[in-house]
Amino acid sequence: MEIKKIGIFFLVVIVIAGIIGCSADTTDSSPSEQKGSDTTEPKETSGGTLNVAYLAQPQTLDPHITTANATRDPARLIFETLVTLNENYEVTPQLAESYEISEDGTTITFKLREGIKFHNGTEMTAEDVVASMTKWGESAIAKANLGEHEWVAKDKYTVELHFEGPSSVIMYVLADIDQFAAIMPKEVIDSAGPSGITEYIGTGPFKLENWAHDQHMLFTRFEEYQPVDEPASGLAGKKEALVDEIYFHFVPDESTRVNGLLSGEYDFAHMLPYDAIPQLENVPNIEIDIWPFGIQALVFNKKEGLFRDVRMRQAVNYALNKEEILTAAFTSPKYFELDPSLFLPEQTDWYTDAGQEYYNQQDLEKAKQLLQEAGYNGEEVIILTSRDYAHHYNSAVATQQQLQEIGINAKLEVYDWATLLERRDQPELWDIFFTGFPTSSTPHQYTFLDTRANWPGWTNNPEFDRLLDEIKAQTSQEEAKALYAELQQLMWEDLPIINIGRNLRVSAYSDKVQGYQEFKGPVFWNVSISE
Amino acid sequence: MKAYLLKRILSLIPVLLVVAVVVFFLIHLTPGDPAAVMLGPDAAPEDVERLREELGLNLPLHEQFFSWFFGLFKGDLGWSIYMNKPVLDAFLERLEPTLSLAMLAQGIAILIAIPFGILAAIKRGTLTDQLFMVLAMLGVSVPSFLLGLLLMLGFGVKLQWFPVAGYNPLSTGIWNHLQYMILPALSLGTIQAALIARMTRSSMLDILTMNYIKTAHSKGLKERVVIYKHALRNAFIPILTVIGQTFGTLVAGAVVTETVFNLPGVGQLVVQSIVRRDYAVIQGTVLLITVSYVLINLIVDLLYGVIDPRVRLNRK
């Protein structure tokens, strides 16, 4: 009986402790306080481990083959590009020491930095760059923006890119971080399988130590890393691995990411649920980072069905209250911005408010009139969506209600994300779906603008292609920008998609983390962690 | 006995055959394909098509089936296109967290449930009995993910006694391992405890009213001897059945707990593989889970004979 009593006592203690723990006020104590760290100023030190809670594991770490953010964010620690983007989204050399565009605009000569080492100890040479760029050249993004092109090694440290004609976008595409033009050793490229490379060796400040699937990736400092001797700016300039190691823990459950940050298990938690932010705001020692992700978009099927008719698309545009949809999706105006542009105001090379007169101008009478003109007769409109992404789902629900208000017979079809991806390829199965587009550095990277990309939604107005080609052919950015303004105006008149607005995302980190910044995803170099 | 064993093992074959066929076609006929998931939502259709081609996903379904099915006889469960390794390796890597979680949860459940169930039966109708049964009812009703989140908030976030999520394998030391397992095991074990406690109580109540128990009492045997030696042993068959069945569900159904506590177990492997349509992994894992489920049932059946010789006699 003694043992039983001890057992019951132990159980009661556990239950009481748990209840006390759960009922304690979240505002007046925090893990860090309990550890006593509030009495000492955090100091920036090198070394230590940075524990990052990340929402999803990438399908691959090969940035050449996928547009997924889950690949981009960890892969940028390992791989670098010839040129990159600074904080003003301007193209800046990285692995290239310099580059020069020929007078006729058909050749770019890259002078490589000498003595750059790969993680396997070999030196990066023109051969590696040509192999890497040739593989990357197979990607849709490269094909669409570079056209017919060829990479040639001129000598050990010089590489030339030959292409058809002057282009205002090639340098941006080479510098961009989505499906990025990572440089890898030639032998890695040669041994790449059907689903990309299998060895992850780059020149970046961190190297991949191990990848425990569905658990974590461990990155360690690359001791032979050679930083650029310029101040850090965006993804450019000096990159230093200040911590010894970075753990990317894959934590799909968002409340677990929040709890892990609160308990101190994670130093940084990426993409947190909006409804957890008020709770986190009350915790001292937690910093909250709200950053622009891209646009939330309603995509029309323009190959089959009702929305081939532009008047139907315009009716939908007049029917929608964008602010309500964005509130449904992102909970609060703190997390979205109403803006007709595909670019951020900081992207001065492209930003324009052209088309503003069509943006967020809800006018139900006009919408109904357009429906009538288009001959709409109560046909079913299928909105594809997935609960895998709450903001897409909530956007779809709000849209369905608003469309029903003007008499459109809108119906939701909810699938898991993989099924949605397959169904959206079949034009006979849907009319509208929601997706997000991360901010790109050129208009050409927005696949829905180009009829030749054949991207689901099937933009069918050749005027877009003409403008895209013209923009590309410009040698002056000013002229390119003016043409882009025309294109954005056309986008709001023709409506291949409806840009509902810009959405912001939230990450949070312990104030032990110093020097963190977000630039098209989290940046963990130049980040230190205090004791 | 040997014949019985052989018969049981042979009866596995049609079960596995049906599972193999059903799982293969169910998964392959479900829309969504790994190439599209792998390349991301903005990928160009021609890139997706090229990858499909390279991965052999464009082959006729029957060809894909037969190549997988005949591989099974060679012990080849297929290749994970996503993890780039044999399915069997992926499964074995994930087995430790799941088995550890299931065994700990079961251990916790048994330790709590059987004494409480017996006590409730002996004190039938008293306040103790009612209290235990209310607790058991609560245990069954509270979903394990909710309990998991509460435990995480209490013991992980607030008290910081245990990590909120993650996993340390047993090879890193028992305590290192256990501190990651205690909260998930508690959250999963509570439901089990409630089920087993209720079964223990009702089974004990049945036995306690029997004549031979009354005889034992009238012989002047000590209460403890009557309860543990005479009653419990006979009450144990239905309890064991519940333990066995629920252990099977624990192994297969720890998905939610594994997700909440971010344990890289078999449950998570299956869920993640479904999300990314890693066909071979889903097929292989489901098949292996079926085998383990059937084997657990077999072990439970054999244990009946150990506990109650009458069962052995019946089989002959």
Residues 180-219 (B) with a CB less than 8 A from some CB of A: none
Q: Taking CB atoms and an 8 Å cutoff, what residues of chain A touch B90?
A: 213
Q: Which single residue is written with the structure tokens 């052989």?
A: B6
Q: Please check the confidence at residue A40 and state whether its pLDDT lies above 50.
A: no
The minimal CB distance from B39 to the residues A66, A388, A435 is found for A66
Q: What percent of chain B has pLDDT over 70?
A: 96
- Greater confidence (A42 vs B280) lies with B280
Task: Examine the pLDDT at B315 and tell me if it is beyond 60.
Answer: no
Cβ pair B156:A263 closer than 8 A: yes
Contacts of B268 in chain A (CB under 8 A): 214
Predicted TM-score (pTM) of the model is 0.82
**Overall average pLDDT of the A373-402 stretch:** 95
Q: Which positions in chain A touch B167 (Cβ < 8 Å)?
A: 215
| pLDDT confidence of residue A226 | 93
Contacts of B262 in chain A (CB under 8 A): 215, 249-253, 256
Give the pLDDT of residue A375: 96
- What's the confidence (pLDDT) of residue B215? 85
Q: What share of chain A has pLDDT > 90, as a percent?
A: 75
Range of A23-37, A359-373, B106-120 with top mean pLDDT: A359-373
In the numeric block, which tokens belong to residue B220? Answer: 């002047």
- Look at residue B276 in the predicted model and tell me its pLDDT: 83
Taking residues A394-408, report their average pLDDT. Answer: 96
Residue B298 bridge partners (DSSP): none
Q: Find chain B residues with C-beta within 8 A of A420's C-beta.
A: 32
Distance between B245 CA and the closest CA of chain A, angstroms = 26
CA nearest to A147, candidates A164, A162, A167, A166: A164
Helices (H), A277-434: 277-281, 310-319, 322-330, 364-373, 390-405, 417-423
How confident is the model over A251-272, as a mean pLDDT?
93
* Non-local CB neighbours of A251 within 8 Å, separated by 6+ positions: A53, A54, A55, A257, A260, A266, A269, B165, B262
Pick from A291-300, A323-332, A489-498, B166-175: least confident: B166-175
Task: Collect all residues of chain A within an 8 Å Cβ-Cβ radius of residue B44.
Answer: 140, 143-144, 447, 453-455
Residue scoring higher pLDDT (A288 or B222):
A288
> If pLDDT is split at 50, 70 and 90, which confidence band does A25 have?
very low
CA distance A178 to chain B (A): 10
* Closest CA–CA distance from residue A472 to any residue of chain B (Å): 20
Between chains, do B152 and A423 touch, taking CB under 8 Å as contact? no
Q: What is the mean pLDDT of residues A356-360?
A: 95
Comparing CA positions, the residue from A24, A505, A452 lying closest to residue A276 is A505
**What's the mean per-residue pLDDT of chain A?**
89
Cβ-based contacts of B45 with chain A (< 8 Å): 425, 454-456
How many C-beta atoms surround the C-beta of residue B5 within 10 A? 12
Give the range among A104-118, A486-500, A513-527, B189-203 with minimum mean pLDDT. B189-203
Residues of B in contact with A143 (CB under 8 A): 44
Query: Distance between CA atoms of B64 and A471, rounded to whole angstroms?
Result: 47
Reading the block at residue A63, the tokens are 């940035």
Q: For the residues B216-221, what does the mean pLDDT come to?
A: 82
Q: Residue A42 has what pLDDT?
A: 44
pLDDT digit string (tens) for B124-140?
A: 888 888 888 888 888 87
C-alpha dist (Å) from residue A495 to A310, A314, A356, A425, B268: 7, 7, 13, 19, 41
Q: Does B271 touch chain A (CB under 8 A)?
A: no
Cβ distance B165 to A259 less than 8 Å, yes or no, reads: yes
Least confident of A33-37, B79-83, B275-279: A33-37
Give the pLDDT score at A488. Answer: 97
- Rounded CA gap, A251 and A254, in Å? 7
Specify the pLDDT at position A110: 98
| A11 pLDDT above the threshold of 80 | no
Question: What is the pLDDT at residue B286?
Answer: 87
pLDDT at B164 over 80: yes
Q: What is the DSSP string of A265-281?
A: S-SEE-S--GGGHHHHH
> Is B308 in CB contact (< 8 Å) with chain A?
no
**Interchain contact B147–A (C-beta under 8 A):** no
**CA atoms within a 13 Å half-sphere pointing along the CA-CB vector of B95:** 12
A494-528 b/e with 16+ CB inside 10 Å = b? Answer: bbbbbbbbbbbbbbbbbbbbbebbebbbbbbbbbb
Which of A22, A447, A453 has its CB closest to that of B153? A22
User: Is the reported ipTM for this assembly greater than 0.85?
Assistant: no
In this prediction, residue A14 carries a pLDDT of 45
Given an 8 Å threshold on Cβ–Cβ distance, is B33 in contact with A418?
A: yes
pLDDT band at A134 (very low <50, low <70, confident <90, very high): very high
| H or E element that contains A284 | none
User: Is A18 within 8 Å of B33 when comparing Cβ atoms?
Assistant: no
* Distances, alpha carbon B150 to alpha carbons A76, A320, A382, B239, in Å: 36, 40, 40, 29
CA gap B246, B240 in Å, rounded: 10
Using a CB–CB cutoff of 8 Å, tell me whether B276 touches chain A: yes
CA dihedral A485, A488, A493, A497 (to 10 degrees): 180
The predicted-structure confidence for B68-106, as pLDDT tens digits, reads as follows 888 888 888 888 888 888 999 999 989 899 989 999 999
- List pLDDT tens digits, range A210-258: 998 888 999 999 999 999 999 999 999 999 999 999 999 999 888 899 9
- Return the pLDDT at A43: 44
Chain B nearest-CA distance from A103, in A, is 33
What are A178-210's pLDDT values in tens digits? 889 999 999 999 999 777 898 999 999 999 999
B chain contacts of residue A265, beta-carbon cutoff 8 Å: 156, 163-166
Q: Does the distance separating the beta carbons of B47 and A65 come in below 8 Å?
A: yes
